């Protein structure tokens, strides 16, 4: 599987309270012109890219292969069938797929594992998730060993969560652990931990 990670910090433009209405109108006109350029015109020999229309059919996410180790709030699992159909319907096999707001990365993982694209780039702004993917992709065996050797008890979980001086691998494991046993996979500070778990199996259900 060929995947690549980009850790990107977005620089927001500084606010300006001195812009005139004329400047605003000019910027709006420029934006409209850029949209027209992207859409193409009658004299443009290049056909515009067709954007797939989402189906109204409800997707049962349990039927979608769960290829991501992360449980991500607002994940894209429900979108996988549509992405798969769109890629299969293309007349060519894309060389690179870029997934912004990667999160659990289910779209890219599915596309690469099913051979629909050659490689994928995961773009993620959250430093914890970005670091997890770096370790999962670049040091997968080491991270897998940490998971296999971990004894999942309340005491051991508390010890991991309360650790502060962490290496990149320590932080990646901590992120994965929080994602798996916090309610809804939420990583934010103060997120509650699951108690009964699935079928009453507690923490070990995850």
**Nearest-angstrom CA–CA distance, 135 and 7:** 12
Give the C-alpha distances (Å, rounded to integers) separating 110 from 25, 71, 102, 128, 205: 43, 15, 13, 22, 24
Its sign, for the CA torsion 106, 206, 154, 200, is: positive
List the structure tokens of 173: 């494991």
**Nearest-angstrom CA–CA distance, 55 and 176:** 32
pLDDT in tens, the chain (206 residues): 555 554 443 333 344 444 444 544 554 444 334 333 334 444 454 565 565 555 567 776 777 888 899 987 678 888 899 999 999 999 999 999 999 999 999 999 999 999 999 999 999 999 999 999 999 999 999 999 999 999 988 899 999 988 887 899 999 999 999 988 887 676 767 666 666 555 555 555 54
- Dump the DSSP string for 95-160: SEEEESS-TT-HHHHHHHHTTSSSEEEEEE--HHHHHHHHHHHHSHHHHHHHHHH----HHHHHHH
Strands 119-124 and 96-99: parallel
Closest-CA residue to 161 (of 136, 180, 140): 180
């Amino acid at each position: 599987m060929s995947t690549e990670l980009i850790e990107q910090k977005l620089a927001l433009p500084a606010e300006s309270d001195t812009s005139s209405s004329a400047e605003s109108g000019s910027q709006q006109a420029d934006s409209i012109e850029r949209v027209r350029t992207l859409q193409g015109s009658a004299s443009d020999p290049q056909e515009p890219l067709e954007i797939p229309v989402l189906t109204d059919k409800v997707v049962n996410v349990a039927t979608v292969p769960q290829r991501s180790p992360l449980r991500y709030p607002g994940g894209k699992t429900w979108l996988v069938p549509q992405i798969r159909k769109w890629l299969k319907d293309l007349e060519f096999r894309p060389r690179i797929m870029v997934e912004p707001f990667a999160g659990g990365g289910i779209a890219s993982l599915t596309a690469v594992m099913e051979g629909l694209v050659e490689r994928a780039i995961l773009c993620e702004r959250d430093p914890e998730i970005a670091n997890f993917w770096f370790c999962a992709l670049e040091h997968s065996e080491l991270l897998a060993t940490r998971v296999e050797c971990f004894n999942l008890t309340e005491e051991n979980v508390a010890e991991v969560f309360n650790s502060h001086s962490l290496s990149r691998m320590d932080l990646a494991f901590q992120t994965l652990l929080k994602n798996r046993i916090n309610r809804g996979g939420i990583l934010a500070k103060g997120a509650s931990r699951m108690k009964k778990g699935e079928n009453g199996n507690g923490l070990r259900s995850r």
